[in-house]
Amino acid sequence: MNVALLKYYIGLRGMNLTQFAALLGVNRSFIYAKLRKPDSFSRSDIKLIMQKLDLTHDELLNIFFPDVLTKGNDN
């Protein structure tokens, strides 16, 4: 997961992490814990983030699955 890119999109939408947590309906500590252990984001977390930040499919992949995108280019 690219945590820096997620934070970039949050900032691009004019929010800080506290505001982002409120948008998701979770406590700020939940967001900080998830960012410390990015592999702990569930499918439902990712889907909610995509909806709330209005991310495209490519943006979502770049944030949560950057390794998947580069593995196909190892030729």
3-state secondary structure the chain: CCHHHHHHHHHHCCCCHHHHHHHHCCCHHHHHHHHHCHHHCCHHHHHHHHHHHCCCHHHHHHHHCHHHHHHCCCC
pLDDT band with cut points at 50, 70 and 90 for residue 69? low
Candidate from 9-23, 32-46, 58-72 with smallest mean pLDDT: 58-72
pLDDT tens string 20-45 = 999 999 999 999 999 999 889 999 99
pLDDT band with cut points at 50, 70 and 90 for residue 57? very high
